[in-house]
Amino acid sequence: MHPDPSELASLSDYSLSALLRRAAARWPDARALLGGHQSWTWAQLDRDVDQVACLFEACGVKPGDPVGFLLSKRPEVVIGFLACARMGAIQVPVNFKLHPDQVSDQFTTAHIRAVVTEGSQEALLKHLLPLLPDPRQIISVDATGRHAGTRWASHVQHAGHRSAFEPGPDTVCYYNYTSGSTGRPKGASTTSRNIIANGIATSEGLGFEAGDVYMGMFSVFAHPHELFHRSILFGGAFVVVDSLNPRMVADAINAHGVTWMMAVPSFYEMLLDHLDGGAASGAGGRLPSLRVLEAGGAYVSPETHDRMETKFKARFLPVWGCTEASGVGLGMLAGNLRRAGSTGKAIPGYEIRIVDAAGDDVSPGEAGELWIKGPSVISHYVNMPAETAAQFKDGWYATTDLVKRDEDGFIFFAGRRSEMLKIGGIRVFPLEIEQVVQQHPEVRDVVVVRAEERLRGEIPRAIVTTQPGSGLTVRSLQAYCRDRMALYKVPRIVEFWAEIPKLPNGKIDKRAVSAQPQDPERDDRRPPSSQKS
C-alpha cells in the first residue's frame, strides 16, 4: 500500500529527527529495527535514540561535531546515526578495512571529534588515539574496549537531559564517504533533506510500499542511511544483518519475512548457489517472502536478469546510484517494461544530462558523461575544495560515468571515463567487452583492464573466473569473442583467476586487479607445477 503522494512530498521538509518522532507517534507498536537477537518498535527506537543523543552530549559532543563510527554492522549503527541527527552532530561511517593511514586521513579530513567503536577495532583505534585527545569521547558499544572513556550501556542514565537544539532539514547530519575506487575517498556533506528526498524518490519511482520489510546488504560504511531511510517514511520494518554467509542471510530473510532486498549482483549469485542446495540449505530451497531484489554496483546482463527472476520468482531490479546523489538515481521505474541491457531512467526528482567533453548535450545513441541534479544531490565534499570544483557545476554533479540514452530515454552504461581504452586509435570501453565475455555459459565473473604490448600499444586484458569444473581455454574464449565483436576488441590477454578482488561495497577492485603484473599464462585452476615458471 502506498501513501498519498502529496503526503510523501510534504516529508521533504522534515529533519530525520522529526521523521523518527512522526513514525513513533503514528506507528508506536509496529516493528522497526530488527537485528541479531534484538528488535525495536518505532516507539522503542525513538526512546533509545533520545537516550543515546543525551549520552553523546554528556560526553561533550556538540552540534556540528563529526562523530566517527568504527563499528561492524549492528543495530547501534542505526541508533547512533539517528542520535547524531537528533542532537545536531554529524555521523561519519569509517571504512575500517582501509589501511590505517587512509583511516587517519579520513579522521583528519572530516575533523572527527568523537568515535563510537567496539572491541574488535582496538588495534585500529590505538593507531587513531593521537587524533582523539578527549578519552570521554571514545564510546564503546561493548565491554571489551580498553581505550574507551564511555560505555554505550550507560546511555540510560542520561535520558531526558538533552539540550533544546533542534536540527532542521538542511542541517548537515552525515559525511557519506565514497569507496575510493577512483582515488582518495571523499566525504559527501549530506543533509536530512538529501537523505529524505532520496527515500521519497526511490520509494515512489521503484514501488517500495508500506508493508515492505527491507534488508540492505552493503557494507556498514557504504551508505548506512540506506538501511532505514525508506522504511522510516512508512513505519515499516528493516533488518540489520552482519553477515554475507548465504545460509545466515537466507535464514534471516525467512525469519523476518523480508520482502525487499538490496545487494550487489555477485551476492545474489552466492545466494542462488546456496538455494540450489535444496531443502538442506535450511531455507527449503526458496525464499517465498521476497518480492524485489534491488541490485546495485555492477552491470547486469539480460541473461543474468532473466535467470535471477526465474530462480527467485521475484522482481529483479538493477539500479545505479552514487554517494553524491545520496543513493539510487536511476532504475527501471515501477510499471515500466524492462529494456534489455538498460539500467532504466532517472528516478522522479532527479534530472540528468549526458554531455561531451565540452559540457554540451549529446544526441541519443552517443556516449557521454552522466550529470545528475536534484534535491538529493549534495553540494560539496568535506574540506576538499579542488575535488568539489572539479565535479560540481551549477548544481549538477559530474559522475565520470559514460552512458548512452536511446530515443525513449532509457540509459545504457558504457563505462567510466578513466577506464576507456585507446586501441589502435579507437576508443573502446571495457564494459562492452565484459558484456560479451560474461555471456559465455562457463564464465562466472570478468573484468577487463588496460594492458600494454610493445608493438600494439594499449590492449584489453580480461581477468576471468569460471564456473566450477569448467575447462574453458584462452583460445576458445577468444574464438567466442571474435564471433561477437570487432577483432580489435577481443582480449589479447586472458587470465583465469580463482577470485577477482572486490571492494567492501562489493564492486570489483579494478585498481587491485591492474596492480597485478599481466601474466598470459596464469590459470589458477591448474596446479602451480603445470603453469609457466
CATH of domain 15-192: 3.40.50.980
Q: Which of 337, 384, 466, 399 is nearest to 188 (CA)?
A: 384
Residues of the chain with pLDDT under 50: 279-284, 533
DSSP secondary structure letter of residue 154: G
Name the segment(s) of the chain with CATH classification 3.30.300.30: 420-530
Query: 527: exposed, middle or buried (C-beta count within 10 Å: 0-12, 13-18, 19+)?
Result: exposed
CA distance 416 to 419: 5
Tell me the three cell numbers of residue 178: 565514497
Enumerate the CATH 3.40.50.980 domain ranges in the chain, comma separated: 15-192
Query: Is-contact 400 429, C-beta < 8 A?
Result: no
| pLDDT tens for each residue of 146-169 | 777 888 887 766 666 567 788 999
The predicted pLDDT at position 528 comes to: 58
Supply the DSSP symbol for 187. E
Is the whole model's pTM more than 0.85, yes or no? no
Residues 6+ away with beta carbon under 8 Å from 363: none
Pairing relationship of beta strands 38-41 and 31-35 according to DSSP bridges: antiparallel
List the one residue out of 314, 318, 338, 340 whose CA is nearest residue 330. 318
**What backbone torsions phi and psi does residue 526 show, to the nearest 5 degrees?**
-100, 150
% of the chain with per-residue pLDDT over 70: 92
pLDDT at position 284 is 45
- Nearest CA to 149 among 107, 123, 182, 117? 117
- Report the pLDDT value the prediction gives residue 282, as an integer from 0 to 100: 43
Superfamily of domain 420-530: ANL, C-terminal domain (3.30.300.30)
C-alpha cell at 220: 556498514
Between CA 310 and CA 514 the distance in angstroms is 35
Cβ within 8 Å of residue 507, ≥6 positions away:
179, 181, 264, 297, 298
Q: Write out the H or E segment, with its range, that includes residue 229.
A: none
pLDDT score at 281: 40
